[in-house]
């Protein structure tokens, strides 16, 4: 559960506000194609300017080379600033073509599991255009069931819900005396009694009009824009309307036998077990009131029938017919477009930004990648931009809400204005490292919203002492090094690799990874493996790579899913029975536990982490062998990387080591190994069988980074650094250092 820990004085301090924020409709684009930008500004800002820059170095640390950009194009046109809101919260929207009046006996019922008492109204099912709902079955501010009719309370119960327990809830209507019975029956839990309350002589007509919302009240304006209010937090399982007044005894019997198939005529029956891998909601009743989910509530969730016999939802969908809704889910901010950019023909591939600003030093940099045209001549070098990892960390709240965070970091947390802004504006969405407001883990994350920690100039709290760079901005150290050394290179994203597969990478001599390529889909894993089998060379310039399996949605762009199944370093874990991805049914978790440890691709795999200071490598005897002498050409030092912008050394943050038991090739050369890590560095949790007091850096021999080189039978040459901090050492001493020299020696050899 999150805690809002920033002070009121900080909330009221306008200096911390990000007054201009935006996002693009894509993170990669080809020359001659269009990319669109959506911008929101504080109301006090009237106009904004824009320009497009090639991003070279995003690190503002004065100890480093400094922020670097190259202007590509100014947009002389001023744009009218508008303030745009995000309506977060997931729900189901059912459009109605005509009004349906419920003039005879009927019953509505659903199984629900409330997960948050937020002392607000939480709509379960509504009809109408909020606030003018024809009816609204909701959990009220007292955490009790309530039925409203035409915006007035009709009847409410006194029994409060118990969080994370299943209930059969609903209401029945008996035309004979215009009677409503509102009911709530607990499912398989003690110390909670059922409750039924009756209201007679109801003079108003129940009707389904304009819109139906499940897990929210909705409004559709004249422009066709749908907004949501009073979001429900919890699971809902197969809501339905029967064309009959169901007796109290029958309701009680259903509560005791949730799997009972009533032989009653259904007016509406939304079957959530159908089309789990989509946004579709199917009505199996005569009216065919189909709908769709909005903002990606979690699907493939255990329903009221789940009994632990089957863990794969594809094998028994009826046991996974629940949908888990959250008031802080978000997929697409759906802001109005501010401007487009047609990418100039002939522009170089690389990292770029739309720089949006006003005349008072308010600004936002919105990054994207320009990838080569399909028919253009490719460079020999490809930098693979890890957008899945950026999206996984998008807008993480670790700095403020991370459990025992300062203890983990070993220092006081320095908050950036982006951190405080995101804590205040929860509607901007969460990362897969956060938990929802009800405490459940975030398994979906999208790029179609402003991502304020995916920016140049941003310093992350878990990026180590010094520059504090993590993910996107840390990767600009590699881009800066390539530019300084005058290497010609291309960039693509792993989202492009997911779409196009091996064809988009097969022609490159060498692929350079980022500093932290942690999240990969099966197709991306297979494509890199295929690339190596075709003789392609790989330079893994980071740590903790190929760690978690993720899935990209096939229909909706820019959203990933991660199920944190058994094992792994994680801020939350998936509940038992919810390990299989909803997008495609693949089992989630660590690639290591899926039989594809990163060691098989990279030669090394995740072994330990620490976030205070970085250390150095010491060369091994193998590094002096003739077979690898090209790597150390003009490098006489035994100690490597005892310097750097990220933690003060090249071996830091997250570390990978060689291990034949996990698939590291026998023909690997271990060139150097890091040492002297602090006791805040700890071994990874997946290697702890029995907890022991010797897990820290000074005692655990597995807490280390191994620098390795190996060749595959295909001729593929592979080099791996095993450290996130490696790239932060490249620019030391005006790029004249042993880390920079080793990297260029390897790259020069790989592109021959």
Q: Is the pLDDT at 563 greater than 60, yes or no?
A: yes
Helix, strand or coil for residue 709?
A: strand
Closest CA to 537 of 371, 741, 710: 710
Identify whether 15 is part of a domain. Answer: no
pLDDT value of position 643: 97
Q: Which residues pair with 199 in a beta bridge?
A: 180
pLDDT value of position 137: 97
What are the pLDDT digits (tens) for 379-434? 999 999 999 999 999 999 988 888 788 878 888 888 888 988 999 999 999 999 99
Shared-domain flag, residues 167 and 296: yes
Q: Is the pLDDT at 14 greater than 50, yes or no?
A: no
Shared-domain flag, residues 388 and 292: no
Domain that includes residue 273, residue range: 91-325
Shared-domain flag, residues 314 and 189: yes
What are the pLDDT digits (tens) for 262-287? 788 899 999 999 999 999 999 999 99
The mean pLDDT of 227-251, rounded to a whole number, is 95
Shared-domain flag, residues 272 and 388: no
The mean pLDDT of 572-588, rounded to a whole number, is 96
Token digits for 193? 């009694």
- Looking at 308, 325, 342, the residue that finishes a domain is 325
Confidence of residue 696 (pLDDT cuts 50, 70, 90): confident
Bridging pattern class, strands 510-512 and 537-540: parallel
Shared-domain flag, residues 193 and 279: yes
Shared-domain flag, residues 266 and 400: no
Shared-domain flag, residues 455 and 573: yes
Confidence of residue 4 (pLDDT cuts 50, 70, 90): very low
Q: Is the pLDDT at 454 greater than 50, yes or no?
A: yes
Q: Is the pLDDT at 12 greater than 70, yes or no?
A: no
Shared-domain flag, residues 121 and 263: yes
pLDDT value of position 6: 28
Looking at the chain, the number of H-run helices and the number of E-run strands are 12, 44
Alpha-carbon distances, residue 231 vs 90, 215, 217, 437, 477 (angstroms): 7, 6, 7, 12, 42
Q: Is the pLDDT at 11 greater than 80, yes or no?
A: no
What are the pLDDT digits (tens) for 635-644? 999 999 999 9
Token digits for 151? 């915006």
For residue 192, what is the DSSP state? Answer: -
Shared-domain flag, residues 239 and 107: yes
pLDDT value of position 585: 97
The mean pLDDT of 244-270, rounded to a whole number, is 90
Identify whether 42 is part of a domain. Answer: no
Contact criterion met (CB below 8 Å) for 181 and 171: yes
User: Which element (helix H / strand E) includes 738?
Assistant: helix 738-750
Confidence of residue 118 (pLDDT cuts 50, 70, 90): very high
Q: Assign residue 230 a region: left if phi > 0, alpha if psi is -120 to 50, beta otherwise? A: left
Closest CA to 113 of 439, 571, 565: 439
Contact criterion met (CB below 8 Å) for 338 and 79: yes
Contact criterion met (CB below 8 Å) for 69 and 135: no
Identify whether 344 is part of a domain. Answer: no
**Least reliable range by pLDDT among 127-136, 220-229, 546-555, 711-720:** 220-229
| HSE-up (13 A, CA, CB side) for residue 35 | 22
Determine the Cα–Cα distance for residues 675 and 475; give it in Å rounded to an integer: 24
The pLDDT > 90 percentage for the chain reads: 81
- Looking at 325, 350, 375, the residue that finishes a domain is 325
Contact criterion met (CB below 8 Å) for 180 and 196: no
User: Which element (helix H / strand E) includes 473?
Assistant: helix 472-484
Determine the Cα–Cα distance for residues 288 and 267; give it in Å rounded to an integer: 9
Handedness of CA 365, 367, 372, 378 (dihedral sign): positive
Identify whether 332 is part of a domain. Answer: no
Identify whether 282 is part of a domain. Answer: yes
Residues 6 or more apart whose Cβ sits within 8 Å of residue 81 = 20, 39, 41, 45, 46, 47, 48, 358
- Looking at 274, 303, 325, the residue that finishes a domain is 325
Provide the number of structural domains found in the chain: 2
Identify whether 340 is part of a domain. Answer: no
Shared-domain flag, residues 210 and 303: yes
Identify whether 701 is part of a domain. Answer: no
pLDDT value of position 230: 95
- Give CA angle at 339 (459, 416), nearest 5°: 15
The mean pLDDT of 732-740, rounded to a whole number, is 97
Identify whether 111 is part of a domain. Answer: yes
* 157: CATH: 2.60.120.200
Shared-domain flag, residues 476 and 592: yes
Mean pLDDT in the chain?
93
Q: Is the pLDDT at 1 greater than 50, yes or no?
A: no
Shared-domain flag, residues 406 and 549: yes
What are the pLDDT digits (tens) for 67-93? 999 999 877 789 999 999 999 999 999
């Amino acid at each position: 559960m999150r805690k809002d820990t920033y002070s009121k004085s900080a909330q009221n301090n306008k200096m911390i506000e990000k007054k201009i924020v935006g996002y693009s409709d894509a993170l990669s684009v080809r020359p001659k194609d269009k990319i669109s930008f959506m911008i929101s500004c504080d109301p006090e800002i009237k106009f904004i300017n824009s320009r497009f820059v090639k991003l070279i170095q995003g690190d503002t640390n004065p100890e480093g080379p400094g922020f670097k950009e190259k202007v590509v194009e100014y947009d002389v046109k001023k744009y009218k600033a508008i303030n745009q809101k995000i309506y977060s919260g997931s729900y189901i929207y059912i459009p109605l073509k005509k009004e349906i009046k419920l003039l005879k006996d009927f019953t509505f019922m659903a199984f629900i599991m409330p997960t948050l008492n937020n002392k607000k109204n939480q709509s379960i099912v509504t009809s109408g255009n909020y606030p003018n709902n024809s009816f609204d079955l909701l959990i009220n501010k007292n955490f009790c069931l309530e039925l409203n009719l035409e915006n007035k309370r009709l009847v409410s119960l006194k029994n409060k819900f118990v969080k994370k327990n299943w209930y059969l809830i609903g209401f029945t209507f008996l035309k004979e005396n215009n009677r409503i019975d509102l009911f709530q029956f607990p499912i398989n839990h003690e110390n909670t009694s059922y409750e039924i309350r009756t209201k007679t002589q109801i003079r108003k007509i129940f009707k389904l009009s304009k819109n139906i919302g499940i897990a929210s009240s909705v409004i559709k304006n004249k422009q066709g824009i749908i907004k949501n209010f009073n979001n429900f937090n919890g699971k809902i399982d197969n809501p339905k309307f029967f064309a009959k007044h169901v007796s109290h005894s029958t309701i009680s019997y259903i509560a005791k036998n949730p799997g009972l198939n009533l032989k009653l005529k259904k007016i509406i029956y939304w079957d959530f077990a159908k089309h789990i891998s989509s946004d579709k909601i199917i009505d199996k009743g005569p009216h065919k009131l189909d709908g769709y989910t909005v903002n990606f509530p979690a699907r493939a969730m255990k329903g009221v029938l789940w009994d632990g016999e089957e863990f794969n939802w594809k094998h028994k969908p009826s046991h996974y017919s629940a949908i888990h809704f959250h008031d802080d889910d978000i997929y697409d901010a759906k802001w109005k477009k501010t401007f487009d950019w047609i990418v100039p023909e002939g522009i170089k591939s690389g990292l770029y930004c739309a720089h949006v600003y006003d005349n008072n030093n308010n600004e936002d940099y919105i990054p994207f990648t320009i990838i080569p045209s399909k028919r253009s001549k490719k460079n020999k070098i490809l930098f693979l931009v890890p957008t899945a990892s950026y999206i996984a960390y998008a807008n993480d709240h670790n700095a403020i809400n991370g459990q025992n965070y300062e203890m983990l970091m070993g220092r006081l947390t320095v908050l950036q204005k982006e951190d405080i802004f995101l804590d205040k504006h929860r509607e901007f969405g969460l990362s897969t490292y956060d938990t929802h407001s009800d405490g459940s883990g975030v398994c979906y994350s999208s790029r179609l919203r402003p991502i304020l920690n995916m920016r140049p100039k941003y310093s992350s709290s878990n990026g180590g002492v010094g520059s504090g760079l993590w993910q996107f901005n840390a990767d600009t150290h590699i881009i800066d090094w390539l530019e300084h050394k005058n290497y010609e290179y291309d960039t693509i994203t792993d989202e492009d690799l997911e779409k196009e597969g091996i064809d988009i990478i097969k022609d490159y001599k060498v692929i350079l990874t980022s500093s932290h390529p942690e999240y990969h889909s099966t197709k991306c894993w297979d494509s890199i493996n295929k690339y190596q089998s075709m003789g392609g060379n790989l330079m893994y310039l980071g740590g903790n790579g190929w760690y978690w399996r993720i899935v990209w949605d096939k229909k909706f762009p820019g959203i990933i899913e991660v199920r944190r199944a058994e094992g792994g370093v994680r801020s939350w874990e998936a509940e038992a029975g919810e390990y299989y991805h909803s997008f495609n049914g693949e089992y989630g978790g660590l690639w290591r536990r899926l039989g594809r440890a990163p060691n098989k691709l990279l030669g090394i795999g995740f072994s330990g982490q620490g976030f205070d200071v970085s250390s150095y490598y010491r060369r091994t005897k193998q590094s002096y062998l003739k077979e690898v002498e090209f790597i150390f050409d003009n490098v006489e030092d035994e100690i490597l990387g005892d310097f750097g912008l990220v933690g003060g050394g090249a071996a830091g943050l997250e570390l990978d080591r060689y291990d034949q038991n996990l698939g590291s090739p026998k023909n690997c050369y271990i060139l150097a190994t890091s040492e002297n890590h602090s006791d805040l560095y700890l071994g990874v949790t997946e290697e702890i069988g029995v907890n022991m007091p010797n897990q820290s850096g000074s005692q655990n021999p597995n807490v280390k980074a191994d620098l390795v080189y190996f060749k595959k039978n295909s001729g593929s040459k592979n080099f791996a650094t095993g450290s996130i901090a490696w790239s932060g050492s490249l620019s030391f001493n005006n790029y004249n250092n042993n880390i920079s020299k080793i990297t260029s020696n390897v790259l020069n050899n790989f592109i021959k």
